[in-house]
Structure 1
Amino acid sequence: MTWYAHWVGSLDDNGYHFLLVGLILLTLILLVAGVWFVRRTYWIINTPTSKIVSAHQGYIEIEGITKNIDASPLVSPLTGTACVHESDNLIVVEDETGECLVDPESASIRPNLRRQWYGATERPSGATNSVGGQFFGDYRYTEKLLLPHRNLYVLGWFKTITHDPYVVENESVASLLREWKHDPQMMKTFDLDGNGSIDSKEWDQAREAARQQIQAQQVRELARPQQTHLMSANPQSRRPYIISADDQTVLAKRFRRWGYLLWAGSVLAFFFWVSAYYVRP
């Protein structure tokens, strides 16, 4: 450390004080950053993995397979790659017991696919879309994707929303009746007296026909699920909310490694601060 003592001794007063302040700030920053990573390791390791259907309400972790919330798959706007997460859309995770919606808002997301490239236009076009691979250009494109049918780990707040089947059925009937009102041919089938208007008795018959159609549809579809499971952040909690394509074991090891490295850096910065403090009277 002779070189360090010699260098510190050569600094003027302003440089010396700047060094001391900088080192103590660096020590604190690295210490806090290490706590941030180790704290996430703690919650990943100490939160038991739950099955979706039997999960308790509150802070839990789940693992499953990603799938699209709709029949039509999402695609990345930059490269057209099929994905399950783009912008703020909900993600569906499925395990052997059921499905859970995942709200990505306020989550720390670790995607399956990360790529970055450059181009000459505001949006990538042509061959760049397929290869994603220019190294120079006026525009930088960044893509972070969660892919369908891949493993996903979620640590966050779980809640189950129960639907009243009577309310669900009434809403479906009302929606179907609104569709029929804009279909003249359908309205004619309920105009029993042929006077061109639907009276209250005929409207009651239309409502009953709509209800029977909805009930038959529910039977064919094995009825609507009576519960919706949701994972999301809790604004009133400081616990981490994580959505990760990495396995929880891999994720915990990575967070722990970064935490320990940052703490080691904090100790080293503090050592240099102490050394600098005692080099000069």
Structure 2
Amino acid sequence: MFDGLRLSRWSSVHRATSGVQLVLLAIAAQTHSRLGWLVCIALLAAISLVAWASAYRRRRAITDTPTAKVATAAQGYAELTGTGRPLDGLPIVAPGRHVPCLWFRYLVEERNHKREWTEVQRSESEGSFILDDGTGQCLIDPAGAEIVTRHKETTVADDTRTTLWLLLNGDPLYAIGDFRTVTGLSGELDPNADVRDLLAEWKKDPAALARRFDLNGDGTIDEQEWLLARQAAKREVARNHDALRAAPDIHLLARPADGRLFLVSNLSEAKLARRYGLWCLFHLALFFAAVAGLPWLWAEGAPL
């Protein structure tokens, strides 16, 4: 039902870059000034080089990062593949079509008096979802991620165009980003400190403390009764620590703090690498063509 072009934040920037390149070529074609040609072609070369570097960085990250398993992945930058699953609870539902999904981006545009499309509404889901590779489950936080998806639907009604991009339940997922495992036992437990903290908490409610441990009913907690209170606190802390030790690990994939690629897609690693590789070749070819044309334009008497 949903199929079409891919979308990501990089794709949006890339389309803008390509648009600037076309505008520069159009300006150069209309100018009769050698200086104008030189400026346009020099800018074209610079933009092409930046676009090539961006695509190359993404391809290198995809091809150079080995695929890990959720259950055994090292902490830090990691690449995972698996199947997309929704979290339990309220589902993420795409607007317009009301389709249950893992993630959506929704764009509404209207045609203005110049017959150009103008954005009037945009929304994007922020809820997390699960990548399951059979060895374990990893929670993916899509905040800040580049989403590349094959699911796209565009509808046009009168002067309104609506576009919906989706990651669907059960999609095969490729993800690369910062992998972290959070355990119930996130640090070294200190039973003595926890007992002190618990007793201090109990002391904040003297009436409740007296009901539990004032065995002789004299209205005060004597030394013997306080010893019983400490023993009760030790038992409660021990139960809590046992529960923490038994808690399952939670694996998370999120945006790296160092700015490295954070990408989630329902395309395979091979298709993503080929996609960015082709853009590398395109922008590199455009860069060398522009650089090769500069000396010719600079030459005295070059036709315009």
Q: TM-score range by the shorter chain?
A: 0.5 to 0.7
Superposed counterparts of 1:189-268, under 5 Å: 225-235=247-257, 237-268=258-289
> Does structure 1 retain, via aligned residues, the 8 Å contact 2:127–2:142?
yes
> Does structure 1 retain, via aligned residues, the 8 Å contact 2:92–2:102?
yes
CA distance, structure 2, for counterparts of residue 162 and residue 143 of structure 1: 37
3-state SS of paired residue (1:263): helix
Structure 1 residue 257, shift from structure 2 partner: 0.7
TM-score, normalized by length of structure 2? 0.62
* Correspondence for 2:36 among 4, 10, 18: 18
Equivalent residue number for residue 99 of structure 1: 137
Equivalent residue number for residue 277 of structure 1: 298
Structure 1 residue 72, shift from structure 2 partner: 4.4
> Does structure 2 retain, via aligned residues, the 8 Å contact 1:112–1:147?
no
Counterpart residue type for residue 278 of structure 2: R
TM-score, normalized by length of structure 1? 0.67
| 1:158–1:199 CA distance, 2 compared to 1 (3 A) | closer
3-state SS of paired residue (1:156): strand
> Does structure 1 retain, via aligned residues, the 8 Å contact 2:183–2:247?
no
Counterpart residue type for residue 22 of structure 1: C
> Does structure 2 retain, via aligned residues, the 8 Å contact 1:164–1:226?
no
CA distance, structure 2, for counterparts of residue 203 and residue 231 of structure 1: 45
Runs of 4 or more consecutive aligned structure 1 residues displaced over 4 Å after TM superposition:
198-204
Query: Is structure 2 residue 153 aligned with structure 1 residue 115?
Result: yes
> Does structure 2 retain, via aligned residues, the 8 Å contact 1:154–1:244?
yes
Query: Is structure 2 residue 173 aligned with structure 1 residue 152?
Result: yes
3-state SS of paired residue (1:109): strand
Equivalent residue number for residue 182 of structure 1: none
Spell out, residue by residue over 1:149-174, the C-alpha distance to the aligned partner (whole angstroms, 9 max, x if none): 110000111011111399xxxxxxxx
3-state SS of paired residue (2:153): strand
Counterpart residue type for residue 83 of structure 2: I
> Does structure 1 retain, via aligned residues, the 8 Å contact 2:92–2:127?
no
| 1:88–1:21 CA distance, 2 compared to 1 (3 A) | same
Structure 1 residue 274, shift from structure 2 partner: 2.3
Equivalent residue number for residue 123 of structure 1: none
List runs of 5+ in structure 1 lacking aligned partners.
1-7, 120-135, 167-197
Equivalent residue number for residue 53 of structure 1: 71
* Correspondence for 1:76 among 73, 77, 94: 94
Structure 1 residue 35, shift from structure 2 partner: 1.3
CA distance, structure 2, for counterparts of residue 95 and residue 278 of structure 1: 60
| 1:200–1:96 CA distance, 2 compared to 1 (3 A) | same
Counterpart residue type for residue 101 of structure 1: L
CA distance, structure 1, for counterparts of residue 37 and residue 301 of structure 2: 12
Structure 1 residue 78, shift from structure 2 partner: 1.6
CA distance, structure 2, for counterparts of residue 45 and residue 35 of structure 1: 15
3-state SS of paired residue (1:164): coil
Structure 1 residue 31, shift from structure 2 partner: 1.1
CA distance, structure 1, for counterparts of residue 168 and residue 34 of structure 2: 52
CA distance, structure 2, for counterparts of residue 258 and residue 81 of structure 1: 32
Equivalent residue number for residue 59 of structure 2: 41
Let me know the Cα RMSD of the aligned residues.
3.1
Structure 1 residue 52, shift from structure 2 partner: 0.2
Percent identity reads 27
Counterpart residue type for residue 141 of structure 1: T
List runs of 5+ in structure 2 lacking aligned partners.
1-27, 105-124, 190-206, 214-231
